[in-house]
Amino acid sequence: MEVKIETATTKLLDTLYKIEMQCFDEEAFSKRQIAYLLTDYNTIALAAKANTEVAGFIIAQIESGETEYGHIITLNVAPSYRHKGIAIKMLQELEGSFKQRGISECRLEVREDNHAAIKLYHKLGYQTMLKLERYYGKKHGLYLKKTL
Ligand SMILES: CC(C)(COP(=O)(O)OP(=O)(O)OC[C@H]1O[C@@H](n2cnc3c(N)ncnc32)[C@H](O)[C@@H]1OP(=O)(O)O)[C@@H](O)C(=O)NCCC(=O)NCCS
Protein backbone atom coordinates (compact mmCIF):
# COMPACT_ATOMS: atom_id res chain seq x y z
CA MET A 1 0.00 0.00 0.00
CA GLU A 2 1.42 3.34 -1.05
CA VAL A 3 0.79 6.13 1.46
CA LYS A 4 1.31 9.74 0.44
CA ILE A 5 1.06 12.74 2.71
CA GLU A 6 -0.33 15.89 1.15
CA THR A 7 -1.76 19.22 2.19
CA ALA A 8 -5.42 18.95 3.22
CA THR A 9 -7.77 21.61 1.89
CA THR A 10 -11.50 22.27 2.14
CA LYS A 11 -11.95 20.14 -0.99
CA LEU A 12 -11.60 17.18 1.39
CA LEU A 13 -13.93 18.62 4.05
CA ASP A 14 -16.72 16.01 3.76
CA THR A 15 -14.25 13.13 3.86
CA LEU A 16 -12.28 14.57 6.78
CA TYR A 17 -15.45 15.16 8.75
CA LYS A 18 -16.57 11.58 8.12
CA ILE A 19 -13.24 10.28 9.45
CA GLU A 20 -13.41 12.65 12.45
CA MET A 21 -16.83 11.18 13.32
CA GLN A 22 -15.40 7.64 13.08
CA CYS A 23 -12.55 8.57 15.42
CA PHE A 24 -14.20 10.61 18.17
CA ASP A 25 -17.57 10.64 19.94
CA GLU A 26 -18.57 13.77 21.84
CA GLU A 27 -15.11 15.29 21.39
CA ALA A 28 -15.38 15.30 17.58
CA PHE A 29 -14.97 18.65 15.89
CA SER A 30 -17.98 19.83 13.93
CA LYS A 31 -17.75 20.19 10.18
CA ARG A 32 -17.80 23.95 10.62
CA GLN A 33 -14.88 23.82 13.07
CA ILE A 34 -12.86 21.66 10.66
CA ALA A 35 -13.66 24.07 7.80
CA TYR A 36 -12.50 26.98 9.93
CA LEU A 37 -9.29 25.20 10.92
CA LEU A 38 -8.50 24.28 7.32
CA THR A 39 -8.71 27.90 6.21
CA ASP A 40 -7.00 29.58 9.15
CA TYR A 41 -3.66 31.10 8.14
CA ASN A 42 -1.91 29.57 11.16
CA THR A 43 -2.92 26.01 10.28
CA ILE A 44 -0.91 23.15 8.89
CA ALA A 45 -3.29 20.40 7.73
CA LEU A 46 -2.10 17.17 6.17
CA ALA A 47 -4.01 14.22 4.74
CA ALA A 48 -2.66 10.70 4.29
CA LYS A 49 -3.77 9.10 1.05
CA ALA A 50 -3.55 5.34 0.78
CA ASN A 51 -3.59 4.69 -2.94
CA THR A 52 -6.25 7.31 -3.73
CA GLU A 53 -8.39 7.09 -0.60
CA VAL A 54 -8.02 9.46 2.35
CA ALA A 55 -6.93 7.27 5.27
CA GLY A 56 -6.35 9.94 7.89
CA PHE A 57 -5.49 13.52 8.61
CA ILE A 58 -3.78 15.79 11.09
CA ILE A 59 -4.44 19.44 11.84
CA ALA A 60 -2.03 21.62 13.80
CA GLN A 61 -1.66 25.30 14.44
CA ILE A 62 1.26 27.59 15.03
CA GLU A 63 0.74 29.35 18.33
CA SER A 64 2.61 32.30 19.76
CA GLY A 65 3.76 32.09 23.35
CA GLU A 66 7.10 33.42 24.53
CA THR A 67 8.29 31.62 21.42
CA GLU A 68 6.27 30.11 18.59
CA TYR A 69 5.31 26.47 18.98
CA GLY A 70 3.33 23.88 17.06
CA HIS A 71 0.06 22.67 18.56
CA ILE A 72 -1.58 19.49 17.34
CA ILE A 73 -5.34 20.04 17.28
CA THR A 74 -6.57 16.71 15.93
CA LEU A 75 -5.10 13.47 14.58
CA ASN A 76 -7.27 10.80 12.99
CA VAL A 77 -6.71 7.55 11.17
CA ALA A 78 -9.81 5.80 9.76
CA PRO A 79 -10.38 2.47 11.57
CA SER A 80 -9.68 0.32 8.50
CA TYR A 81 -6.26 1.93 8.01
CA ARG A 82 -4.94 1.68 11.58
CA HIS A 83 -1.75 -0.14 12.67
CA LYS A 84 -0.03 0.57 9.37
CA GLY A 85 2.22 3.40 10.51
CA ILE A 86 0.05 6.14 8.99
CA ALA A 87 -0.17 8.24 12.18
CA ILE A 88 3.62 8.10 12.59
CA LYS A 89 4.08 9.15 8.96
CA MET A 90 1.76 12.14 9.33
CA LEU A 91 3.39 13.21 12.61
CA GLN A 92 6.88 13.00 11.13
CA GLU A 93 5.81 15.07 8.13
CA LEU A 94 4.18 17.64 10.40
CA GLU A 95 7.26 17.89 12.61
CA GLY A 96 9.34 18.42 9.45
CA SER A 97 7.04 21.30 8.42
CA PHE A 98 7.41 22.89 11.84
CA LYS A 99 11.20 22.60 11.70
CA GLN A 100 11.26 24.17 8.22
CA ARG A 101 9.45 27.15 9.72
CA GLY A 102 11.99 27.40 12.55
CA ILE A 103 9.62 25.98 15.15
CA SER A 104 11.38 23.75 17.65
CA GLU A 105 8.60 22.59 19.94
CA CYS A 106 5.36 20.67 19.43
CA ARG A 107 2.62 20.39 22.06
CA LEU A 108 -0.73 18.63 22.33
CA GLU A 109 -3.49 17.51 24.65
CA VAL A 110 -4.74 13.93 24.80
CA ARG A 111 -7.40 12.16 26.86
CA GLU A 112 -5.78 10.37 29.79
CA ASP A 113 -7.44 7.06 28.85
CA ASN A 114 -6.46 7.20 25.16
CA HIS A 115 -3.73 4.60 25.56
CA ALA A 116 -3.20 4.08 21.82
CA ALA A 117 -2.50 7.76 21.20
CA ILE A 118 -0.35 8.15 24.33
CA LYS A 119 1.76 5.15 23.31
CA LEU A 120 2.13 6.61 19.82
CA TYR A 121 3.27 10.00 21.11
CA HIS A 122 5.67 8.51 23.65
CA LYS A 123 7.14 6.34 20.91
CA LEU A 124 7.90 9.49 18.93
CA GLY A 125 9.55 11.17 21.92
CA TYR A 126 6.72 13.29 23.31
CA GLN A 127 6.87 13.69 27.07
CA THR A 128 3.97 14.05 29.45
CA MET A 129 4.28 17.44 31.15
CA LEU A 130 1.15 17.67 33.26
CA LYS A 131 -2.33 16.37 33.91
CA LEU A 132 -5.26 18.53 32.79
CA GLU A 133 -8.05 18.01 35.31
CA ARG A 134 -11.47 17.50 33.68
CA TYR A 135 -10.15 18.86 30.38
CA TYR A 136 -12.59 16.66 28.45
CA GLY A 137 -15.80 17.13 30.42
CA LYS A 138 -15.53 14.64 33.28
CA LYS A 139 -12.42 13.02 31.79
CA HIS A 140 -8.90 14.18 32.46
CA GLY A 141 -6.36 15.08 29.84
CA LEU A 142 -2.59 15.04 29.58
CA TYR A 143 -0.40 17.76 28.19
CA LEU A 144 2.49 16.46 26.08
CA LYS A 145 5.45 18.23 24.59
CA LYS A 146 8.36 17.41 22.29
CA THR A 147 11.45 19.38 21.42
CA LEU A 148 11.96 19.00 17.68
C1 LIG B 1 -4.20 6.91 17.72
C2 LIG B 1 -4.23 6.71 16.19
C3 LIG B 1 -4.10 8.08 15.52
C4 LIG B 1 -3.08 5.79 15.78
O5 LIG B 1 -3.07 5.70 14.36
P6 LIG B 1 -2.31 4.49 13.58
O7 LIG B 1 -2.08 4.95 12.19
O8 LIG B 1 -3.04 3.23 13.79
O9 LIG B 1 -0.92 4.45 14.37
P10 LIG B 1 0.45 3.80 13.83
O11 LIG B 1 0.16 2.62 13.02
O12 LIG B 1 1.26 4.90 13.20
O13 LIG B 1 1.07 3.34 15.22
C14 LIG B 1 2.30 3.78 15.69
C15 LIG B 1 2.47 3.38 17.13
O16 LIG B 1 1.44 3.91 17.95
C17 LIG B 1 1.10 2.98 19.00
N18 LIG B 1 -0.27 2.52 18.80
C19 LIG B 1 -1.09 2.80 17.76
N20 LIG B 1 -2.30 2.21 17.95
C21 LIG B 1 -2.23 1.53 19.11
C22 LIG B 1 -3.15 0.74 19.84
N23 LIG B 1 -4.40 0.50 19.41
N24 LIG B 1 -2.75 0.24 21.04
C25 LIG B 1 -1.52 0.47 21.51
N26 LIG B 1 -0.58 1.21 20.86
C27 LIG B 1 -0.94 1.74 19.68
C28 LIG B 1 2.09 1.84 18.88
O29 LIG B 1 3.24 2.19 19.65
C30 LIG B 1 2.43 1.88 17.39
O31 LIG B 1 3.66 1.34 17.11
P32 LIG B 1 3.75 -0.25 16.78
O33 LIG B 1 2.87 -0.46 15.60
O34 LIG B 1 5.20 -0.45 16.50
O35 LIG B 1 3.25 -0.95 17.99
C36 LIG B 1 -5.57 6.05 15.74
O37 LIG B 1 -5.80 4.91 16.55
C38 LIG B 1 -6.79 6.94 15.83
O39 LIG B 1 -7.11 7.67 14.88
N40 LIG B 1 -7.49 6.90 16.98
C41 LIG B 1 -8.70 7.70 17.18
C42 LIG B 1 -8.40 9.18 17.22
C43 LIG B 1 -7.36 9.53 18.27
O44 LIG B 1 -7.34 9.00 19.38
N45 LIG B 1 -6.49 10.50 17.92
C46 LIG B 1 -5.44 11.00 18.78
C47 LIG B 1 -6.01 12.05 19.65
S48 LIG B 1 -4.80 12.96 20.52
Phi and psi for 25 in degrees, rounded to 5? -95, -105
Count up the domains in the chain and report the number. 1
Residue 27 to residues 24, 56, 110, 138, Cα–Cα distance (Å): 6, 17, 11, 12
**Confidence grade of residue 47 (pLDDT, cut at 50, 70, 90):** very high
Q: Is the minimum distance from the CB of 85 to ligand 1 under 6 angstroms? A: yes
Q: Chain-wide mean pLDDT for the chain?
A: 96
Other beta carbons within 10 angstroms of residue 128's beta carbon come to: 14
- Cα(114) to centroid of ligand 1, in Å? 10
What range defines the domain where residue 18 resides? 3-147
Ligand 1 atom with the smallest distance to the CA of 89 is: 12
pTM of the model: 0.97
CATH (domain of 49): 3.40.630.30
Q: What pLDDT is attached to residue 18?
A: 98
Which ligand 1 atom sits closest to the C-alpha of 86? Answer: 7
The Å distance, Cα 62 to ligand 1 centre, comes to: 23
Q: Would you say residue 27 has pLDDT above 90?
A: no
* Percent with pLDDT over 70 in the chain: 100
* Pocket of ligand 1 contains residue 55 by CB under 6 Å: no
pLDDT of residue 120: 98
Spatial neighbors of 84 by CB under 8 A, at least 6 apart, are 1, 3, 50
What is the mean predicted confidence (pLDDT) over 8-23? 97
The pLDDT tens digits of the residues spanning 81-124 come to 999 999 999 999 999 999 999 999 999 999 999 999 999 999 99
pLDDT of residue 26 exceeding 90, the answer is no
pLDDT exceeds cutoff 90 at 137: no
* d(CA 116, ligand 1 centre) in Å: 5
77 C-beta closer than 6 A to ligand 1: yes
Write the DSSP string, 14-83.
Answer: HHHHHHHHHH-STTPPPHHHHHHHHH-TTEEEEEEEETTEEEEEEEEEEEESSSEEEEEEEEEE-GGGTT
pLDDT at 52 over 90: no
> Distance from the CA of 120 to the center of ligand 1, in angstroms?
5
- For residue 43, pLDDT over 90 is answered with yes
Residue nearest to atom 24 of ligand 1 (CA): 116
The Cα-based distances of 79 to 19, 21, 56, 86, 117 in angstroms read 9, 11, 9, 11, 14
